[in-house]
């Protein structure tokens, strides 16, 4: 396992500035955010201006890209066209894992299975693994449902975000059954009432998580997703979680 950080840790900055900031904070690996509603790189630009996006993703200030987080606003055929372009980009810069959000709660289960099957098929042609993210308010908020999705979609992985088994829960949720499917991990600290709190003030058990992942042979990124908090020095929080995670490895 190794520590990485997402460009989404600096949502107010363009991607070049976010990458530079991560270098200043002594990170060596990066998860690149490709979110349509963001200030950084967008899936529509990857599809429509591929060569430019490829050049930008190769200019990473000595950071090694290890994963993409992809959130596409388009629908229908255009959705899959943009996703295929993101997979092509991932292959070109040797990124193995692409995280996608699960469908919103209320989406028919069969429709979500078909969507994920199509995404996995597109990714497989480029040698990329799709990880559906565990997230409150989506079909993936329940660990048992995620297991059923993985059992129905051959080749589907899980991007584990433990925060969503803490935030908004009366009792901390159990995700042990997901560990064998995990292809990527996203981390911050979280309480029952706030999705992100200062490092060390939440309920995420980093040590237990690292031990469990090691037991199932997980050997990829622990990707930090810490966004700025009011009246908190963001750089200090980023350093604190980096050093904490590195001390556990």
* Closest among 81, 69, 89, 88 to 8, alpha carbons compared: 69
| pLDDT tens across the length of the chain (249 residues) | 999 999 999 999 999 999 999 999 999 999 999 999 998 999 999 999 999 999 999 988 889 999 999 999 999 999 999 999 999 999 999 999 999 999 999 999 999 999 999 999 999 999 999 999 999 999 999 999 999 999 999 999 999 999 999 998 766 678 999 999 999 999 999 999 999 999 999 999 999 999 999 999 999 999 999 999 999 999 999 999 999 999 999
Tokens found for residue 23: 């270098």
Question: Which ranges constitute the DSSP H helices of the chain?
Answer: 15-24, 43-48, 50-58, 76-92, 109-124, 143-152, 206-215, 234-248
Q: Taking a C-beta distance cutoff of 8 angstroms, is the pair 37, 11 a contact?
A: no
How far apart (Å, rounded) are the C-alpha atoms in residues 237 and 226? Answer: 8
How far apart (Å, rounded) are the C-alpha atoms in residues 91 and 86? Answer: 9
How far apart (Å, rounded) are the C-alpha atoms in residues 6 and 118? Answer: 26
pLDDT in tens, 175-189: 999 999 999 999 999
How far apart (Å, rounded) are the C-alpha atoms in residues 17 and 7? Answer: 9
Report all structural domains of the chain as residue ranges with CATH numbers, in order of start. 2-248 (3.20.20.150)
């Amino acid at each position: 396992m190794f520590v990485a950080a997402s460009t989404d840790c600096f949502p107010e900055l363009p991607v070049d500035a976010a990458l530079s900031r991560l270098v200043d904070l002594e990170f060596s690996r990066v998860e690149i955010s490709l979110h349509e509603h963001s200030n950084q790189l967008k899936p529509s630009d990857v599809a429509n201006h591929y060569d430019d996006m490829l050049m930008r993703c190769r200019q990473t200030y000595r950071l090694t890209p290890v994963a993409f987080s992809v959130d596409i606003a388009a629908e229908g055929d255009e959705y899959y066209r943009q996703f295929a372009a993101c997979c092509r980009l991932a292959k070109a810069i040797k990124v193995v894992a692409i995280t996608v959000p699960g469908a919103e709660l209320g989406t028919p289960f069969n429709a979500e299975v078909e969507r994920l099957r199509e995404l996995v098929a597109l990714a497989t042609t480029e040698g990329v693994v799709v990880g559906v993210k565990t997230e409150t308010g989506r079909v993936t908020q329940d660990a048992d449902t995620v297991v059923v999705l993985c059992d129905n979609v051959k080749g589907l992985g899980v991007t584990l975000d433990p925060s969503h088994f803490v935030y908004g829960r009366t009792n901390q949720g159990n995700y042990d059954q997901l560990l064998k499917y995990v292809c990527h991990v996203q981390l911050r600290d979280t309480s029952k009432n706030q999705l992100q709190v200062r490092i060390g003030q939440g309920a995420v058990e980093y040590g237990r998580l690292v031990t469990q992942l090691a037991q199932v042979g997980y050997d990829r990124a622990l990707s930090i997703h810490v966004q700025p908090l009011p009246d908190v020095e963001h750089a200090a929080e980023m350093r604190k979680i980096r050093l904490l995670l590195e001390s556990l490895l």
